[in-house]
Structure 1
């Protein structure tokens, strides 16, 4: 009789998780700058994606490859609103990650794979919340709201997240109060493509400085405090002192919400602004411009 016992269910799950880590870890890199350490992954040949918040300052970085070799990289673009950073590098032969676009569900098991000194840095957990698309506090359009119940080490921020099939589904980052969030694959693909082409994400620009003001009982408007010369607001005939009470027929709820709506898709669109000017109702048609580089 054989004394060899069959693997337990726990052993099979553990082996499958370790195999998934081994399969993806060649594409996951440690990233070092003068001020920070994070992880990243090969998105395209010669291009690495990481967390913008994890590497907020420096424009040059060192990538630590699996095995410990290092190569230089430069920041090609960053988008703080979606927490996506794109690095350009040469000499990285690792194959890019291939994302699984199937949506995650609450309760699914996930793994976050970062890197430290050329070795995988792994955290496991569950999808604690799975919701629809949302806007970040900085106005970025995130394709799904996914929160992860796991303990992510600082150096693992920017690493890749695997679903229960062992397939990459996005990037692990820190959110408010150190909650671990997932930046979904669809967001990464959209933003990284823009950064690769333009070096930044275009943002809508009104050319107006706005201040919230009460206009009626229980309603809010946006008072125009200043108008940029040759900006979209000036071209539309908006004047200092005007109060915007509605945009495209929708009442103004708050100035931050109005500004957060000026994402990449807003550039070039025409907004119909309902204004109050010296007590009179005025309408202006404003074509949204692209925010100038800082």
Structure 2
């Protein structure tokens, strides 16, 4: 009997050691897993009850019950008046970017309010960058009324995403869904803390996908007044579920209780809900959040092209037949696109075999990838279709490989250019030329009213076919005067002369 007792105790001790060792290894392994991988392990060990989709009689109770325990209220404090004022402006811009409401905040230590979603049992929370930007203190209030101080793990203004963390474990989480599967007309729920109220759930449908509203570009001021390269990624899910001030950073979930988006902005004239809200798709957020956890910042991959989205008007302006796709204005030397053979004037029509209708179709796809990843692009050149695999490069390669012509052509002239098409050459009976694809407000071209769509055939009486030709012609000028000749968008001949700094 004594021998049996000793054996039993030894077995218990061995089991405890084994369980403890397994737990230690599991915790260490979990740190290296993506949030999606962590969730798969969690939900395998803790399966969710079956939640019926919203077909037939609508019933959102199960989805709401699954999600609300993991959506938190975020309160921010700003001790620096300058930082809080900047943050107030940012918050106003994001939450009522089409309107002028909201009221002014009182002076002194400023307070902000938003929402967040717990995505891991050890306290990682996704929210908006503009909710926590410049905050001196971030308090997270859980649905059970506990209040915990959070720290910022990473922020990204280009996607308006942030990852914060609270101490502890065993938190309820919202299951990450697949935003690619979201369909227009699908029922969704918005969960958050509007107007600093307790958890609020509203229902609506997905009314559009891939929306670009220009809010992220407007929210990123340039440094020292210089133009800033466009790296913002906007491909919002649009919904008519009621989203109000304070919902920012909250959950947009499907009727199965899966997180498909992070609420970010509303379209409003009054500052309150007027019909449309916008959420960042979760498939874009997954990559950004994993980068935050691993590196504390986003490691973004770049194709190395500048482009203009095509529609019927732009196609006519550029003299091309395609009304969908992206017209390549410029290619970064030694970038991924240049190494794959893309050139100015090419039209990118597909990414990974999927047709491109808007710039967001490409930007969101690339936003999910990092340096070294490959992506297949299909493009048109002279009416022929090509497909190339492009290796994305890091941000440092874009900066170091920026063409020298950008110093004059982009910064001072305030314009972007691309080679003219064969159609335009025949129309104007010319053998060379570039077309103005974009005009920056405040630049020289804006001041002398050179419009987008203008064809420039010569600069300082020298034929030009690309930005390098323009740079050489300007550099050769001895009196800092620039003379351009060509045709206005309506086909009239034009010739302008103006001084320029070099």
Name the TM-score, length of structure 1 as normaliser.
0.65
Deviation at 1:112, TM superposition (A): 0.8
- Cα distance in 2 for residues equivalent to 1:28 and 1:240: 46
- Is the CA contact (8 Å cut-off) linking 2:139 and 2:149 kept in structure 1? yes
Q: Is 1:26 the counterpart of 2:69 in the alignment?
A: yes
- Aligned equivalent of 1:160, options 245, 251, 263: 251
Q: Is 1:120 the counterpart of 2:194 in the alignment?
A: no
How do residues 229-268 of structure 1 correspond to structure 2 at under 5 angstroms?
A: 238=404, 242-243=408-409, 246=417, 253-254=437-438
Aligned length: 235
For residues 25-57 of structure 1, the C-alpha deviation after alignment (integer angstroms, 9 at most, x for no partner) is: 222111111121111011233311111223333
- Aligned equivalent of 1:276, options 470, 484, 498: 470
Aligned to 1:68: 145
Q: Is 1:201 the counterpart of 2:201 in the alignment?
A: no
- What's the secondary structure of 2:207's corresponding residue? strand
Query: Which structure's residues are more often strand, by fraction?
Result: 1
Aligned to 2:368: none
Q: 1:92/1:113 Cα in 2 relative to 1: closer, same or farther (>3 Å)? A: farther
Mark the runs of 5 or more structure 2 residues left unpaired by the alignment. 1-53, 78-110, 218-230, 303-316, 319-328, 331-396, 411-415, 421-433, 441-465, 477-502
Name the TM-score, length of structure 2 as normaliser.
0.40
Q: Is 1:110 the counterpart of 2:202 in the alignment?
A: no
Mark the runs of 5 or more structure 1 residues left unpaired by the alignment. 1-8, 206-217, 223-230, 257-271, 283-294
Q: 1:247/1:118 Cα in 2 relative to 1: closer, same or farther (>3 Å)? A: same
- Cα distance in 2 for residues equivalent to 1:29 and 1:151: 18
- Cα distance in 2 for residues equivalent to 1:107 and 1:232: 39
Q: 1:274/1:78 Cα in 2 relative to 1: closer, same or farther (>3 Å)? A: same
Higher relative contact order (Cα pairs below 8 Å, separated by 6+ residues): 1
- Aligned equivalent of 1:169, options 260, 264, 268: 260
Q: Is 1:13 the counterpart of 2:179 in the alignment?
A: no
- What's the secondary structure of 1:279's corresponding residue? helix
- Is the CA contact (8 Å cut-off) linking 1:174 and 1:180 kept in structure 2? yes
Q: 1:119/1:248 Cα in 2 relative to 1: closer, same or farther (>3 Å)? A: farther
Deviation at 1:97, TM superposition (A): 2.4
Q: 1:108/1:118 Cα in 2 relative to 1: closer, same or farther (>3 Å)? A: same
Q: Is 1:181 the counterpart of 2:278 in the alignment?
A: yes
- Cα distance in 2 for residues equivalent to 1:52 and 1:127: 23
- Cα distance in 1 for residues equivalent to 2:190 and 2:257: 11
CA RMSD, 1 decimal: 4.1
